[in-house]
Amino acid sequence: MARTLQQPSHRRRNKFPAVLATATALALAGTGLALSAGGANAAVGNLVSNGGFDSGLSGWTCTGSTTTVSTPVHSGTGALAATPGAGDTAECTQTVSVLPNTAYQLNGWVQGSYVYLGARGTGGTDPSTWSAQSSWNQLNTTFTTGANTTSVTLYVHGWYGQPTYYADDIQLIGPGGTATPTPSASATSASPKPSASASASASPSQSASPSASSSPSPSNSPSPSGSATSPPPNTGLPKHVLTGYWQNFDNGSTVQKLRDVQSAYDIIAVSFADSTTTQGAISFTLDPALATKLGGYTDADFKADIAAKHAAGKKVVLSIGGQNGAISVGSSAAATAFSDSAYKLIQQYGFDGIDVDLENGVNATYMAQALHTLQAKVGSGFVLTMAPETIGMYSTAGAYFQLALATKDILTVVNTQFYNSGGMNGCDGKVYTQGTVDFITAQVCTHIQGGLRPDQVGIGVPASSKAAGGGYVNSTVVNNALDCLATGNHCGSFVPPAKWPTIRGAMTWSTNWDANNGNDFSNNVGAFVRGMQ
């Protein structure tokens, strides 16, 4: 979530959670791959031309700022160095001849944030894998060609506006077809472009990032029905809820005292806690500038406002992170520091729990440890919400998704920020453009298929076009998305594989921007959520 006017939280270019997608290993027979009948008699080898980039960009078609360098390299004398732009992923592609009904393994060495490796036009499930590491690491993925597939297009690219990435030693292992490998003829349309409106479109065959279904382990892949595997936490909240973030700072929106937050909000996330000099520990102080602008707002006033919200049946949680919140819980000591300091703040102010909005990376293991310890201190009424960026919930291999799964037993709701994202794959593998019903519902499908209960999944959207850099939708779109997910009505082109009537609700950034926009979100989405069965 952003602290500054019109500064989208997703645009913190170096703050995506580090993810290394896993891949299924191919069976090996002797020195080659175990192939289907279609390729059983073909010689197996590396089919990529100039995969080591020792001959410059020969054999590749690239977009944006791309070149080759002599350092850093993984091996040989050259490597690809590509710098994405605001509207370009700096992609290099190569079309390779293959055999139908045949298994292939794609691998390559990469470094940088973020680097994607995959293939398109396989005739089956197009593979994609990615990483975000500062040193050389190998990406691996596999696929089987379709019955009529004779060529595939390999690609490597970064992510919009991220730093330079490097790639080397890209290989496609398997039997070759009859044609000579050639560069792709249409590299410029290979990746979806970021969009601030719903007017952009993306081809369903595109694959900008790892498919939601390419990485989950069997233990994290329940049926599409999203059947419950653990009971919902007993928080005293209604079946469907509206969540809003209250800004403890002035960024040009409408300033509010907590008592002024619209009554439609069931959960109010106070934004934000601050980091301290002790790793993992957090603190909270009312912003003096905001207090002055409000005509004087003291700790005592704030505590009284929290108590009044409690009396009205509302929950107030303390949000950690946000665009500028560099809170790191990466060890057992940090986890203890977090749980201890958070518990003191909960006791001091009367917070009902914690909201996790970490946009500076998350360690699922130790953050989960900290949250479980904190919940044990607070008790069964503990409210745990999360607001990850869209890319953080793109795959169960992601650290944020892993955190959600690791805390599923105490998790109230994950309201992913469905904005500032550009185009992304839905649970059906197709790319949908932000700012649409399809984008929201296809992403929610990914979360539920990945292992979260429907009652733990909500929709996160900006309250106005000023509150984010892109992806704003009006209240009608939000209501249609909720109705589609719950009843199967008012869907777009994407229709979820099941109905999820317990879908939790919706969230917005922020109550302040909502007030600035005439309370459109709280009035209209709030009324819809209250009317859901």
d(CA 454, CA 502): 6
Q: Which of the pair, 397 or 45, is modelled with greater confidence? A: 397
Amino acid 71 reads T
Please answer whether residues 395 and 210 qualify as being in contact, where contact means their C-beta atoms are separated by less than 8 angstroms: yes
H/E element holding 383?
A: strand 383-386
Of the candidates 169, 305, 359, 483, the residue annotated as catalytic is 359
d(CA 456, CA 252): 32
Q: HSE, CB side, 13 Å, CA atoms: give it for residue 238.
A: 19
| DSSP 8-state class, residue 502 | T
pLDDT for res 323: 59
325: pLDDT confidence band, cut at 50, 70 and 90? low
pLDDT tens-digit series, residues 161-173: 889 999 999 999 8
- Phi then psi for residue 275, to 5 deg, are -80, 160
pTM over 0.85: no
**Which domains occur in the chain, in start order?**
22-189 (2.60.120.260), 218-222+233-531 (3.20.20.80)
Average pLDDT over residues 130-139: 90
- Bridge partners, residue 69, by sequence: 79
Instruction: Judge whether 389 counts as a catalytic residue.
Output: no
- Among the residue ranges 66-70, 73-77, 178-182, 500-504, the one predicted with the least confidence is 178-182
Percent of the chain with pLDDT over 90: 65
pLDDT tens-digit series, residues 346-396: 999 999 999 999 876 789 999 999 999 999 999 989 999 999 999 889 888
- Bridge partners, residue 417, by sequence: 389, 460
Query: Is the dihedral angle over the CA atoms 8, 195, 511, 517 positive or is it negative?
Result: positive
pLDDT tens-digit series, residues 246-280: 999 999 999 999 999 999 999 999 999 999 999 99
Q: What is the dihedral of CA 240, 245, 246, 249, to 10 degrees?
A: 180
231: pLDDT confidence band, cut at 50, 70 and 90? low
Q: Which of the pair, 498 or 217, is modelled with greater confidence? A: 498
d(CA 59, CA 154): 11
Q: Which of the pair, 132 or 417, is modelled with greater confidence? A: 417
- Among the residue ranges 16-30, 227-241, 368-382, the one predicted with the least confidence is 16-30
Looking at the predicted structure, is the pLDDT value of residue 152 above 50? yes
Amino acid 424 reads M
Residue-by-residue DSSP string for 130-147 = EEEEEEEEEEEEEEE--T
